[in-house]
Amino acid sequence: MYDFQYAKAQSVADAAARLAATDGAKILAGGMTLLPTIKLRLAKPSALIDLGTLADLKGIDVSGGNVTIKAMTRHADVMRSPAVAKAIPALVTLAGGIGDVQVRHRGTMGGSVANNDPAADYPAGCLGLGAAIVTNKREIDADAFFKALFTTALENDEIITAIRFPIPERAAYMKFKNPASRYAIVGAFVSKGPKGIRVAITGAGDSGVFRVAAMEQALTKSFTPAAIDGIAIPTDTMLSDIHASAEYRAHLIGVMVKRAVAACA
């Protein structure tokens, strides 16, 4: 480790002001991604601004056809929420499959989404449901939020405060996970709801989470697993590493999407 400044934010406005005033400062939410990258010296923030004491950034609300989850809500809280289980059970499945018990009790939804790890689960949930990412400045549609690996539309002094998910008619999340980390080698979130049929994939793409338009169009005509037969995913846009080749990931996308569609039924 190395020296850096540390401050507990007194409010969202205080955290945003500290971000704007300090070059290289980072927000600390659950720290499940940030702290390991600091230890490995893959990140070197000049300051950490801790949101952990901000009670107004925690909580879940179901109303007006939406599930709104505040940014500092832990994965375990989503997993155990009866309100989320009733409205969008696929989110409960997603949250329950993140990491291990320790990660689920420390990691936060806002931190996961803001980091935009290419193998993270929540970006697929956001994109697959057509969520709105609410910040201290504005609302950003999920389709415009995720830009590239570890890159989002957030400005330097912008902080996620909540994520609003439209309640779908049906939805499911299926993940082929790394047995050690539980990160998605391929994860598929499929939904049918107010924003049409959406298919979002995490863990596979070399630019991060993405939608599969061809599968969405096929499922719009027939919402059955067989509808996507014959739809090939280009391998030149797939990640390839020690865990899975590009060809394997491309094949797994079809498998996971079919499983998700079947689970929706």
Separation between Cα atoms, residue 250 and residue 137, nearest integer Å:
37
Q: What is the pLDDT of residues 120-178, one digit of tens each?
A: 999 999 999 999 999 999 999 999 999 998 899 999 899 999 999 999 999 999 999 99
Which H or E run includes 256?
Answer: helix 246-264
Q: Which two tokens stand for residue 154?
A: 């957030």
Report the DSSP beta bridge partners of residue 199: 190
Amino acid at 31: G
- Side by side, the strands of the sheet bearing 160-166 are 60-63, 66-70, 160-166, 132-135, 139-141
Q: What is the CATH number of domain 57-264?
A: 3.30.465.10
Q: What is the pLDDT of residue 39?
A: 87
Q: What is the mean pLDDT of residues 213-232?
A: 98
Q: For the chain, what are the domain ranges?
A: 1-50, 57-264
| CB neighbour list of residue 264: distance below 8 Å, 6 or more residues apart | 170, 171, 172, 190, 191, 192, 223
Which of 106, 78, 253, 256 is CA-nearest to residue 165?
78
Q: What is the pLDDT of residue 128?
A: 98
The alpha-helical segments, DSSP class H, found in 130-212 are: 142-145
Q: What is the pLDDT of residue 41?
A: 86
| CATH class entry, domain 1-50 | alpha beta
Q: What is the pLDDT of residues 16-72, one digit of tens each?
A: 999 999 999 999 999 988 888 888 888 899 999 999 999 999 999 999 999 999 999
Q: What is the pLDDT of residue 229?
A: 97
Amino acid at 125: G
Classify residue 35 by burial, with Cβ atoms within 10 Å: 0-12, 13-18, 19+. Answer: middle
